[in-house]
Amino acid sequence: MADNKELQELASQLRQPQGDKGVKVAEMMNETNMNMTLHSIKRLTLQEGERILELGHGNCGHLVQLLEQKRNLSYYGLEMSALMQEEAQRLNQQFFDNGQASFYLYDGLHIPFESNFFDKVFTVNTIYFWKEPEELLTELYRVIKPGGILNITYAQGDFMKQLPFVQFGFTLYNDEKIKELFDNTAFCLVEAETQTETVKSKIGETVDRPFTTITVKK
């Protein structure tokens, strides 16, 4: 069993991967989160030529699957981790070079794009780390086009609280808490869909993880 110091370091790396260990954590996150990520992408119902924003893309090992959905998609990624920005660009060099994908750094709150810019926005397993969730949702509302969609995919709080590292800086959510959050925004709730999957946890155990994608509309 990992001690508190190791758990604290894992929590820190999950929040903002850094160094050689950060690269390995990002690879693990991409693998264990892939089903959640594809669940979120599928529920965007992408259309040809749309602009998509993702918050907290990690190493963005899922970009091929996203760009296969429709023709002429433009992907924009936002990260707080400079290492993840570099890794995503390195792993997706062909899409970066041909202008289909671009990766940017941000401060976790202010989104560096003009208003009404994106057709669809999604984020997977980042909401636990949002420092100012209502302010960030206000920013997301600003950059999404009227009629545009935001998907937030997260593991359910009852599951997450069993994981020993979440005591270090994670804010946990269940459906009720998420919906309360959106009650204070201008978004309209479209649907919430929950699935359960069997995955290897970040500390190496096999677990059943219930997760939800909540879809809201501007």
CA distances from 15 to 24, 79, 166, 168, 184 (A): 14, 11, 11, 10, 25
Q: What is the pLDDT of residue 62?
A: 95
Chain centroid offset of residue 155 CA: 11
Could you give all domains of the chain from N- to C-terminal order, each with its CATH number? Answer: 4-217 (3.40.50.150)
Tell me if the pTM is above 0.85. Answer: yes
DSSP letters along 81-138, please? -HHHHHHHHHHTHHHHHTTSEEEEE--SS---S-TT-EEEEEEES-GGG-SSHHHHHH
Q: What is the pLDDT of residue 105?
A: 95
Model confidence over 76-125: pLDDT tens digits?
A: 999 998 888 998 999 999 999 999 999 999 999 999 999 999 999 999 99
Low-confidence ranges of the chain (pLDDT < 50): 1
Exposed, middle or buried: residue 211 (CB in 10 Å: 0-12, 13-18, 19+)?
A: buried
Q: What is the pLDDT of residue 1?
A: 43
Q: What is the pLDDT of residue 19?
A: 66
